[in-house]
């Protein structure tokens, strides 16, 4: 475990900073100081201070949004914030589950056991559903870190909980992720075909239709 990670995550113990971080993370894009301040219910000056602290800690990234007007009197570009691409994790005592997961993914590839891995992931999804009663799939996905949000007729997910491993084994991990989501839907008594591979840069590779599709 890195002390930098611990220090960074400790910043989120402050309710104002946590609220600002959640506002930026939930946007899925760039958020200005004024927008963040309004959403968090604080002044723009206070929001700017805390947002910049989150940037210093590596939890957010900042950039500039050009003004729509150009030329004299157009003003300076507005500062905007987005969630940082890097990952932060804390484990006491230190653990390396990611390292073992990488080894196991390599074994699956070596043995050509992709179909068996997908079946295992689907069973895991059904088991997860069995512990959740009648909760909607959106609730379960949110608690598993997928960060679902509605867009048109689909339920998309801003975060891939398996992002680090998917960079090493994208085909295997995405197919297992899809199988996991389908097993979850099946276990909840829903149509597993609602879930399909629907990759989008920076987001989860799976999306769900809001209702069953013909």
Residue 121 CA to residue 127 CA, distance in Å, equals 10
Comparing 20-29, 40-49, 62-71, 139-148, the range with the smallest average pLDDT is: 62-71
Q: Decide which of 139 and 212 is more confident.
A: 139
Residue 199 CA to residue 201 CA, distance in Å, equals 7
Residue 185 CA to residue 108 CA, distance in Å, equals 25
Instruction: State pTM to two decimals.
Output: 0.78
Contact by Cβ (8 Å): 162, 144: no
Comparing 15-19, 39-43, 67-71, 121-125, the range with the smallest average pLDDT is: 67-71
Contacts with 54 (C-beta within 8 Å, 6 or more apart), sequence order: 11, 17, 20, 21, 60, 81
Mean pLDDT score across all residues of the chain: 89
Query: Given the structure tokens 């840069």, which residue do they identify?
Result: 201
Q: What is the pLDDT of residues 126-136, one digit of tens each?
A: 999 988 878 89
HEC per residue, the chain: CCHHHHHHHHHHHCHHHHHHHHHHHHHCCCEEHHHHHHHHCCCHHHHHHHHHHHHHCCCEEEEEECCCCCCCCCCCCEEEEEECCCCCCCCCCCCCHHHHHHHHHHHHHHHCCHHHHHHHHHHHHHHHHHCCCCCCHHHHHHHCCCCEEEECCEEEECCCCCHHHHHHCHHHHHHHHHHHHHHHHHHCCCCHHHEEECCCCCCCCEEEECCCCC
Q: Is 69 left (phi over 0), alpha (psi -120 to 50) or beta?
A: beta
Q: What is the pLDDT of residue 74?
A: 56
Q: What is the pLDDT of residue 71?
A: 53
Q: What is the pLDDT of residue 149?
A: 94
Whether 214 shows a pLDDT value over 50: the answer reads: no
Whether 1 shows a pLDDT value over 50: the answer reads: no
Q: What is the pLDDT of residue 29?
A: 86
Contact by Cβ (8 Å): 178, 197: yes
Whether 173 shows a pLDDT value over 70: the answer reads: yes
């Amino acid at each position: 475990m890195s002390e930098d990670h611990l220090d960074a995550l400790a910043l989120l113990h402050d309710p104002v900073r946590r609220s600002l971080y959640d506002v930026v993370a939930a946007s899925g894009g760039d958020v200005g100081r004024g927008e963040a301040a309004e959403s968090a219910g604080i002044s723009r000056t206070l929001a700017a201070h805390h947002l910049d602290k989150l940037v210093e800690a590596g939890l957010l990234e900042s950039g500039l949004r050009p003004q729509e007007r150009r030329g004299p009197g157009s003003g300076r570009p507005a500062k905007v914030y987005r969630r940082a691409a890097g990952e932060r994790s804390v484990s006491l005592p230190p653990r390396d589950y990611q390292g073992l997961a990488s080894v196991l993914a390599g074994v699956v590839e070596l043995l050509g056991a992709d179909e068996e891995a997908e079946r295992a992931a689907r069973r895991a999804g059904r088991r997860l559903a069995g512990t959740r009663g009648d909760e909607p799939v959106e609730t379960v996905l949110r608690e598993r870190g997928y960060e679902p949000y509605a867009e048109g007729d689909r339920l998309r997910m801003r975060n891939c909980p398996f992002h680090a491993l998917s960079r090493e084994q994208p085909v295997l991990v995405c197919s297992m992720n899809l199988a996991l989501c389908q097993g979850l839907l099946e276990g909840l008594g829903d149509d597993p075909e609602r879930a399909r591979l629907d990759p989008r840069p920076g987001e989860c590779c799976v999306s769900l239709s809001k209702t069953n599709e013909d």
